[in-house]
Structure 1
């Protein structure tokens, strides 16, 4: 039975991993953060026309984050970040364009090539980035 955090997002979905060798169970303080993240993802879903969002990564324990090459300060560690697609809406660039132009609070929005990353870290800088060869650049491609 799924632990619903909001109407469309479950705890298990925001803490899932294909790497079964890790116990990626979020601690209680992260579950509270994931509840807030899920509520903010409901707003993302609304902005994307109410279409289904497919989460590929949410919370990551430190060992899992290391294993997948995540940054040591990744917002995934605290449950503030979600990597996702919304196939019924469009590609990650279309998703990022729409969200960057909307009145939604976020810390980072990154067009990663094959997925979109959004972070709701409390800094809420509205930083928009694109993954490029060798790193990340500010803004989205034309």
Structure 2
């Protein structure tokens, strides 16, 4: 079995889901942003894979449920080498949350008349919470976790 390599553009498309040009932009952007931490050819212990192959290894790890042992076999390196690549590059390539452009909606009140976005000031007003069948939802917009909360009856 031939090891997976970033030199094979078909492997890039298959394992990352992006065209080879975008993958090359990611690799060069990482190289510019991080610099010597991921650079090849520095004094000391050398990486067994070039930077593009290391980035592809991390992408394969995130997009599949392959173990480190399987990744090592797929890329032709040892299990500890694959683990070191994941430990070093994994946090650098992890997705960052997008900046939120809108106001965070923290509470939603669902009544038979419709939906109301509740702030602390609006909740102090009477009438909305007194509607029969009203449901109050706490929404964490960062994780999209929704919790149903009983509506306090005054």
TM-score range, shorter chain: under 0.3
Which protein has the bigger strand share? 1
Which protein has the bigger helix share? 2
What TM-score results when the alignment is normalised by the length of structure 2?
0.26
Larger radius of gyration: 2
Higher relative contact order (CA 8 A, sep 6+): 1
